[in-house]
Structure 1
Amino acid sequence: MNGIRLIACDLDGTLLDEQKQLPADFAHTLAQLAAREVVFCPASGRQYHSILALFPELAATMPVIAENGALVMMGERELASSCLARADVSELVAIWRGLVQQGLDVGAVMCGKRSAYVERGGTGFIDEVAKYYPRLEVVDDLAAVADDFLKLALCVPGSAERDIYPHFAALGPSLKAVVSGERWVDVMAAGVNKGRGLQQLQAALGIAREQTMAFGDFVNDLEMLDEAAHSYAMKNAHPAVVARARFRAPCNTERGVQRVIHSLLAGAAA
């Protein structure tokens, strides 16, 4: 595996197919990596419990970078987390409510360690949120919930980059917004991103940047790619990701991640 000991991989748009499913034989690929003592780490904006649902048999041992780097787990043990200050939670909820009052169709998900929370129901919105946050509660007031909050996720029916990101791009110094998908913007504590989560995992495992591979497709993957000497942008990636990564992988719909890994495994076996 050319000295690679850790693979960090985004999920939606990268590893998962258009039906949000893993490649059918990915369990075999994971077994091959484990046999060569290569650690595989999913790194996603998704809730931790959503990621575990994809890898249930590895829940006790697999490292996970969740909530765009705000939560890093080592198996079932929390390795690191970065939570929003309570004052920032109140400010963010107030900004969101103001946008709704102005007529903007935007849903908010307050993402806590225990659960994710929404104030509004509606089948379409709940169905979209549940794809990424299966542990979900509907509450009367997001700002009044007692939990440790990792981020605020905002969802729009159109383009998140165009329709919602500009409203959160210039927050105070304690907060940072990032476009995390076609319909999603995440707001986290300043300095939180997948790259920082990967750094924390590398330090815990004693693995260097030069021994790390990463795959991504969207702008919330940029910092993670920076922390991996072997960085891959998917063929279908955002232009900023293509410009930042050192290498290219086929599209997620063409099992691009798995094809790159299999090529490396074949080289190691030769």
Structure 2
Amino acid sequence: MVFPRLIALDMDGTLLDGESKIPESFWPVLKRAEELGVTIAPASGRQLATLQHQFGPELSFIAENGTAIAHKGEIIHVSVLPDDAVLRILDALQAVTVDHDVVLCTPTVGYVSEDANPDTFVQLEKYYYSRETVKDLRAMVKDSDIIKVAIYCSAGSEEHIAPVVFKAVPDHNVAVSGKEWLDVMPAGANKGAALHYMADTLGIDIAETAAFGDYLNDYELLQEAGTAVAMDNAHPQLKDVADVIAPSNLDHGVITVLNEWFNKMESTQRVHANQREF
């Protein structure tokens, strides 16, 4: 394989452990990447502010399923949903009878109704570090750059939410991003497109990229990457397009594979250094 210079890491079900935490053994791996000149970019459906809170602001980030891209503390690209698409989603969801809540995501804050289910607020603490409650979500549409609409449904997003939303906005990117979450992004916006944008910005050939993922919102990411890595716990469709199957997130598969790659990179560098001496 081509050694990657840019590596995108999904979070939930991929890098994070069973308690949704970053394993402590990841930080030495991140340091090794920096020493080798490899850029690590968390690539998540999570909010940019959340990722920056978890990792610090200086990394590169693909946030909100690719609709917000940041590099060294600066937002370098966003993709915005048209107002009419957001309103179509809100209109269509009125017909859904099972409990669900909506988050309107901007590059810097997530808006949620003050009447949202208490269980939803528990979930939001994990995914939306920067959030505001509002009386009327519709009132936020006109004056905000909505880059993603996220819908939380504890009864199951794929069964109860996806059919309605797919029908409402067939012209945009609808992704089942977890058992309880469904995300809507602008047409053409996804983690894979964001990886390509970041690679171009950093002057890295797409063949020199790699990506790790586990769920359907990682599909385009793995398709686009030079080396596609699906976790052992990944959705079957991701395994079908993967070049490598890593151990599960519970077994810290990302860290295992990265250490293997970095060992080979360091070994290759030593060989080249010895050859130059002669």
Contact 1:173 1:190 (C-alpha < 8 Å) held by counterparts: no
Please tell me the residue identity of whatever aligns with 2:145: D
Superposed displacement of residue 74, structure 1 = 1.1
Which residue of the partner structure matches residue 176 of structure 1?
173
Which residue of the partner structure matches residue 37 of structure 1?
37
Contact 2:229 2:243 (C-alpha < 8 Å) held by counterparts: yes
Inter-partner Cα distance in structure 2 for 1:147 and 1:18: 35
SS in 2 for 1:98: coil
Which residue of the partner structure matches residue 272 of structure 2?
none
Count residues in correspondence: 264
Superposed displacement of residue 173, structure 1 = 5.1
Which residue of the partner structure matches residue 223 of structure 2?
226
Which residue of the partner structure matches residue 276 of structure 2?
none
Is 1:250 equivalent to 2:244 in the alignment?
A: no
Contact 1:114 1:147 (C-alpha < 8 Å) held by counterparts: no
Is 1:127 equivalent to 2:126 in the alignment?
A: no
From 207, 211, 218, the counterpart of 2:208: 211
SS in 2 for 1:202: helix
Which residue of the partner structure matches residue 103 of structure 2?
109
Q: TM-score, normalised by structure 2?
A: 0.91
Cα root mean square deviation, aligned? 1.4
Superposed displacement of residue 147, structure 1 = 1.8
Superposed displacement of residue 2, structure 1 = 4.7
Inter-partner Cα distance in structure 1 for 2:257 and 2:105: 33
Inter-partner Cα distance in structure 2 for 1:239 and 1:160: 18
Is 1:195 equivalent to 2:192 in the alignment?
A: yes
SS in 2 for 1:137: strand
CA deviation string 1:97-146 (max 9, x = no partner): 332xxx22111111112310111234321111221012111111111113
Superposed displacement of residue 8, structure 1 = 0.5
Please tell me the residue identity of whatever aligns with 2:107: K
Inter-partner Cα distance in structure 2 for 1:47 and 1:144: 21
From 232, 236, 240, the counterpart of 1:235: 232
Please tell me the residue identity of whatever aligns with 1:19: E
Matches within 5 A, 1:14-33: 14-33=14-33
Matches within 5 A, 1:86-165: 86-99=83-96, 103-119=97-113, 120-145=115-140, 146-165=143-162
Q: TM-score, normalised by structure 1?
A: 0.94
Which residue of the partner structure matches residue 64 of structure 1?
61
Inter-partner Cα distance in structure 2 for 1:246 and 1:3: 14
Inter-partner Cα distance in structure 1 for 2:266 and 2:109: 43
Contact 1:2 1:268 (C-alpha < 8 Å) held by counterparts: no
Unaligned runs of 5+ in 1: none
Matches within 5 A, 1:253-268: 253-268=250-265
Inter-partner Cα distance in structure 1 for 2:223 and 2:54: 26
Contact 1:9 1:41 (C-alpha < 8 Å) held by counterparts: yes
Contact 1:96 1:108 (C-alpha < 8 Å) held by counterparts: no
> Measured at CA, do residues 45 and 200 of structure 1 come closer, stay the same or move farther in structure 2, by a change above 3 Å?
same
Inter-partner Cα distance in structure 2 for 1:122 and 1:176: 26
Inter-partner Cα distance in structure 1 for 2:205 and 2:120: 41
Superposed displacement of residue 269, structure 1 = 2.6
SS in 2 for 1:12: helix
If you compute each CA radius of gyration, which structure gives the higher value, 1 or 2?
A: 2
Inter-partner Cα distance in structure 1 for 2:173 and 2:228: 24
CA deviation string 1:209-243 (max 9, x = no partner): 21111100001101111111211000000011111
